[in-house]
């Protein structure tokens, strides 16, 4: 009974009070990977969302550790990096509780993250595999239309972009974007010298993800 009550309370933590701006966060994790890469990405995505999809997100994204209960304050948490990731048992349990009580984690592979995060996610959902999300899923059709699914932003290994997810009770609670690198496309133009068209695609897809996380 206590566990159920806790989950109900935590669900209400995602609801803005008195019209205040909502906040989103960047995930800090152990293992040596560069969780802090793409420093201009989230501020630019926030600005885009507030302008084009009428969100009221605080302009400064927060930072939150995997195992910290503060994670329950954020309806959307972003994770990125190139290298190693490590979740302790308590980290994994906290992250699972967050996701099953209404939270949403978007993991964007900044090139090289996949083998590490795939292993660590088994600690969070030992009985769930990452499954590829079809282009028909609503996340590709919320604010902007992506009829072919996840857009390709950076080449990396030249593979096709793929969106993988973990579902809990039919809700997509975790999105892993691979061979796309949306975060690089969200960064300031001079960082990667992406064209305006490429950056717009990345930001529009990011807005779709934010909208999905806020509404589902």
Residue 99 neighbours by CB under 8 Å, 6+ apart: 105, 124, 166, 168, 173, 174
Question: Is the C-alpha dihedral spanning 200, 24, 91, 100 positive or negative?
Answer: negative
Residuewise pLDDT in 10s, the chain (216 residues): 334 434 444 444 454 434 457 999 999 999 988 999 899 999 999 999 999 999 999 999 999 999 999 999 999 999 999 889 999 999 999 999 999 999 999 999 988 899 999 999 999 999 999 999 999 999 999 999 999 999 999 776 778 999 999 999 999 999 999 999 999 999 999 887 889 999 999 999 999 999 999 999
Instruction: Give me the sheet containing 171-178, strands edge to edge.
Output: 62-65, 25-28, 77-81, 105-109, 171-178, 162-168, 131-132
What is the CA angle 80-216-78, rounded to 5?
Answer: 10
All domains in the chain, ordered by first residue = 23-215 (3.40.50.12140)
Q: Which residues pair with 166 in a beta bridge?
A: 174
The model's pTM: 0.91
Rounded Cα distance between 81 and 97, Å, is 23
Place of tokens 């600005």: 47
Helix axes of 2-12 and 89-100: crossing angle, nearest 10 degrees: 70
What token pair was written down for 43?
Answer: 């501020």
Task: Tell me how far apart the alpha carbons of residues 95 and 114 are, in angstroms, rounded to a whole number.
Answer: 18
Half-sphere exposure of 172 (CA within 13 A, CB side): 25
């Amino acid at each position: 009974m206590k566990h159920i009550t806790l989950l109900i309370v935590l669900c209400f933590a995602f609801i803005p009070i008195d019209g205040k701006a909502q906040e989103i966060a960047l995930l800090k994790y152990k293992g040596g990977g560069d969780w802090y890469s793409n420093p201009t990405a989230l501020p630019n995505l926030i600005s885009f969302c507030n302008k084009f999809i009428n969100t009221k997100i605080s302009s400064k994204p927060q930072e939150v550790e995997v195992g910290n209960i503060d994670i329950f304050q954020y309806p959307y948490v972003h994770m990125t990096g190139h290298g190693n990731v490590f979740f302790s048992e308590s980290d994994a349990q906290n992250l699972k509780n967050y996701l099953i009580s209404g939270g949403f984690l978007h993991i964007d592979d900044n090139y090289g993250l996949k083998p590490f995060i795939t292993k660590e996610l088994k600690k969070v959902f030992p009985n769930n595999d990452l499954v590829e999300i079809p282009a028909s899923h609503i996340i590709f059709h919320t604010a902007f239309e992506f009829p072919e699914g996840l857009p390709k932003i950076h080449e990396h290994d030249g593979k096709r972009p793929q969106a993988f997810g973990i579902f809990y009770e039919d809700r997509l609670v975790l999105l892993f974007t691979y061979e796309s690198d949306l975060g690089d496309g969200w960064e300031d133009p001079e960082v990667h010298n992406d064209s305006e068209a490429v950056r717009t695609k990345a930001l529009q897809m990011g807005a779709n993800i934010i909208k999905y996380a806020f509404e589902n």
